[in-house]
Amino acid sequence: MKRMLLAGMLLLLATSMMFAGGKAESAPGKGMVGVVMPTRSEERWNKDGAAVKSGLEALGYKVDLQFSDDDIPTQVRQIEDLITKRAQVLVIASIDGVALSDVLAKAAEQKIPVIAYDRLIMKSPHVDYYLSFDNYAVGQQMGDILIKGMNLDNPAKKPLMIELFGGSPDDNNAYKFYDGAIDRLQPYFDNGTLKIGSGQKGMDTVGTLRWSNELAMSRMENLLSAYYTNQTLDGILSPYDPISLSTLEACKAVGYGSADKPLPVVGGQDCIVASCKSILAGEQYATVLKDTRVLGQATVELVDTILRGEVPAGLDTTSYANDSIKDGKPYIVPSVLLESVIVTKDNLKAEVVDTGYHTAAELGL
């Protein structure tokens, strides 16, 4: 009798555990979210991936986080796998913004919402949301950095010489950054304060495939030997911290960095540890901080809103057309656009260390 009772109780317990287990799995909103980042080899995407993963896990979601080694077929395969594994939402930072149309059509067939993360995915109506910083404004900050750092409103000589570097031509952001920067610098070209020593301009000419700092360095070496043997370079437009550091290296290699031949003024983007150290050492002049924790948190909130079956409110529906047609009209992807911050030696401690973006120890302080 006792044994039967015990068996009965165990059965009851097992049934209720099964019930609880089944209930947990089908509870609304708590499933697996697929997150795909372009590469592990850049500091920012590791931070982005970690921020999104930990935020979603804290809300009880499972996260399958993939890094694509900057290889387009790998990224496509990873997204296909996540569709097969029945991800409930896909969060994708693309490598090539136009290479995902087919795989996103498959996601749409399975009714999986897609969020383009940081980089807009182009030529597909199956991008439900875009989460990023205001990239044109980021570009304007890149221009503002040079206006202040080169003292363009009160120049020591005229013209001051500059070279322009753009980001990867397959990344929509790169055009926004470039256009925003030129928007700010154009008046100084027009009034003769600034001059491009090589004359090279436009994303077709100055873009840097896959944001490669090696490519940027060799282009800088060529520019220095072709155009700067009889004049000095005063500034560099750089869209990305590793490009800032490698172009500065190329300048140092030909004698810049002394009192009579100072390093050119160069900004950057992403606020990576090495650039913070360089800024503190007085070499790189500034960078643009796009706080990956804030972007990660905004992503977590958007995913959670979608999976709770609610409609996200307050999105920007005018800024980001993605070269596709939806419901017979050019499609503008509903976007969340965050604000970025210029970081120089003066505010680095307050904006970077005190906020915990990088620790004092990481920066060697």
Measured from the CB atom, the residue of 61 and 117 that comes closer to ligand BGC is: 117
Q: Which is nearer to ligand BGC, 119 or 219 (CB)?
A: 119
Among 70, 118, 134, 144, the residue binding ligand BGC under the rule CB under 6 A is 118
Report if residue 198 touches ligand BGC, rule: CB under 6 A.
no
Q: Whose structure tokens read 């004359």?
A: 199
Least distance from ligand BGC to the Cβ atom of residue 156, Å? 31
SS3 call for 35: strand
How many of the chain's residues bind ligand BGC (CB under 6 A)?
A: 12
**Torsion 351-354-357-360 (CA) sign:** positive
Burial 121-131 (b: 16+ CB within 10 A, else e): bbbbbbbbbbb
Query: Please, which residues bridge with residue 342 across strands?
Result: 288
Edge-first strand order for the sheet with 89-92 is: 62-67, 32-37, 89-92, 114-117, 129-133, 335-338
Where in 211-250 is the site for ligand BGC (CB under 6 A)?
A: 211, 240
Residue 232 or residue 297: which is nearer to ligand BGC going by CB? 297
Q: Which position among 70, 134, 171, 234 is part of the footprint of ligand BGC (CB under 6 A)?
A: 171
Q: Which of 33, 36, 42, 125: binder of ligand BGC (CB under 6 A)?
A: 42
Q: What angle do CA 187, 191, 194 make, to 5 degrees?
A: 80
- Side-chain half-sphere exposure of 148, counting CA atoms within 13 A: 15
Query: Is residue 70 within the footprint of ligand BGC (CB under 6 A)?
Result: no
Q: How far is the CB of 238 from ligand BGC (least distance, A)?
A: 10
Of 88, 173, 299, 335, the one binding ligand BGC by CB under 6 A: 173
Cα–Cα distance measured from residue 299 to residue 52, given in angstroms and rounded to the nearest whole number: 7
The one segment of 166-174, 225-233, 275-283, 301-309 that binds ligand BGC by CB under 6 A: 166-174
Choose between 124 and 244: whose C-beta lies nearer to ligand BGC.
244
Query: Which residue reads 């995902």 in tokens?
Result: 100
Could you tell me if 238 and 247 are in contact, meaning their C-beta atoms sit under 8 angstroms apart? Answer: yes
176 binds ligand BGC (CB under 6 A): no
d(CA 245, CA 217) in angstroms, rounded, equals: 9
Amino acid residing at 116? A
- The answer to the question of residue 284 lying near ligand BGC (CB under 6 A) is no
269 binds ligand BGC (CB under 6 A): yes
Report DSSP state, residue 363.
T
DSSP tag of 56: H
Work out how close the CB of 197 gets to ligand BGC at its nearest, in angstroms, rounded to a whole number: 25
Q: How far is the CB of 119 from ligand BGC (least distance, A)?
A: 4
Residues 286 and 78 sit within 8 Å (Cβ to Cβ): no
Residue 291 binds ligand BGC, judged by CB under 6 A: no
In whole angstroms, the minimum distance from the beta carbon of 309 to ligand BGC comes to 30
Instruction: In angstroms, give the least distance from the CB of 121 to ligand BGC.
Output: 12
**What's the one-letter identity of residue 318?**
T
Q: According to the binding rule CB under 6 A, does residue 53 interact with ligand BGC?
A: no
Selected from 163, 234, 270, 304, the binder of ligand BGC by CB under 6 A is 270
285 touches ligand BGC by CB under 6 A: no
Query: What is d(CA 280, CA 50) in angstroms, rounded to the nearest whole number?
Result: 26
What residue ranges in 275-348 does DSSP mark as E strands? 286-289, 321-326, 329-332, 335-338, 341-344
Should residue 299 be labelled a site residue for ligand BGC when binding is judged by CB under 6 A? Answer: no
Which of 338, 343, 340, 286 has its CA nearest to residue 316? 338
Identity of the residue, 178 or 211, whose beta carbon is nearer to ligand BGC in the bound complex:
211
Interacting span for ligand BGC (CB under 6 A) from 56-64, 165-173, 220-228, 246-254: 165-173
Interface contacts to ligand BGC, rule CB under 6 A: 42, 44, 118-119, 167, 171, 173, 211, 240, 269-270, 290
